[in-house]
Amino acid sequence: MAFEKPTILFCLFLLLIPILIHLFNLKKYKKIYFPNIDLLQKIKTEKRRISKIKNLLILISRLILMAALIIAFSKPYIPGKGYLKIPIEKISIYVDNSLSMSIKNKNILLEEAKKKSTQIINNLNDNTKINIITNDFEFKNERFLNKENSLDLIENIKLSPFGLNICEVIKRQNRIIKYDSLVSKFIISDFQEHFIQESNNCSENLLEHNLIKITAQKTNNLSLNSCYFKTPFRKLNKEEELIIEIQNHSNENRKNVLLDLFINNKKRGFLNIDIDSQSVVKKTIPFTNLEAGNINGKVQIQNDEFEYDNTLFFSYQIKEKINILSISENDINPSIKTVFNDAVFNLDVFRKNQINFEKIENYDLIILDNLSSVQKGLTGFLKESLIKGKNVFLFPNKNIDLESYNFLLKELKGDQMLNWKKEQNDVKKINYDHLLFENVFTKEVKDIELPNTTGYYKLKTNNLNQRNYILNFLNNDPFIIEYNNYKGNLYICTSPLDLNITNFTKHAIFLPIMYNVAFNIYSSKLYETIDQNLKIKCPACKPQSTLYLRKDNEFEIALENEIINNINFLNIGTNIKENGNYNLYSLKNLEKYISFNFNRNEGKLNNNDFKKEKNIFSNSLDEMDNKTSNKEKKRKNLIFYFIILGIISFLFETLLLKFWKN
Which residue ranges form the domains of the chain, and what is each CATH number?
2-79+639-659 (no CATH), 90-218+605-634 (3.40.50), 249-319 (no CATH), 322-519 (3.40.50.880), 528-597 (2.60.40)
> How many CA atoms are closer than 13 Å to the CA of 515, on its beta-carbon side?
19
Sheet holding 365-371, edge to edge: 345-351, 322-328, 365-371, 391-396, 490-493, 478-483, 467-473, 416-430, 452-460
Per-residue pLDDT band at 619 (split at 50, 70, 90):
very low
Q: Is the pLDDT of residue 87 over 50?
A: yes
Q: Is the pLDDT of residue 85 over 60?
A: no
Residue pair 92/185 in contact (Cβ under 8 Å)? The answer is: yes
d(CA 637, CA 644): 13
Give the residue, 65 or 623, on which the prediction is more confident: 65
Amino acid making up residue 2? A
Q: Is the pLDDT of residue 626 over 80?
A: no
Q: Which long-range contacts (CB under 8 A, 24 or more apart) does 238-243 make?
A: 238/288, 238/289, 239/286, 239/287, 239/288, 240/286, 240/287, 240/288, 240/289, 241/284, 241/285, 241/286, 242/284, 242/285, 242/286, 242/287, 242/297, 242/299, 243/282, 243/283, 243/284
Which residues have C-beta within 8 Å of that of residue 523, sequence separation ≥ 6?
232, 233, 435
Q: What is the pLDDT of residue 522?
A: 55
Q: Is the pLDDT of residue 396 over 80?
A: yes
d(CA 504, CA 427): 10
Q: Is the pLDDT of residue 83 over 70?
A: no
What's the chain's average pLDDT? 82
d(CA 133, CA 187): 9
* The pairing of beta strand 90-95 with beta strand 184-189: parallel
Q: Is the pLDDT of residue 127 over 80?
A: yes
Give the mean model confidence (pLDDT) for residues 574-582.
Answer: 90
- Three-state secondary-structure class, residue 515: helix
Ranges 237-251, 454-468, 579-593, most confident: 237-251
Give the mean model confidence (pLDDT) for residues 179-195.
Answer: 80
Q: Is the pLDDT of residue 654 over 50?
A: yes
Q: What is the pLDDT of residue 207?
A: 74
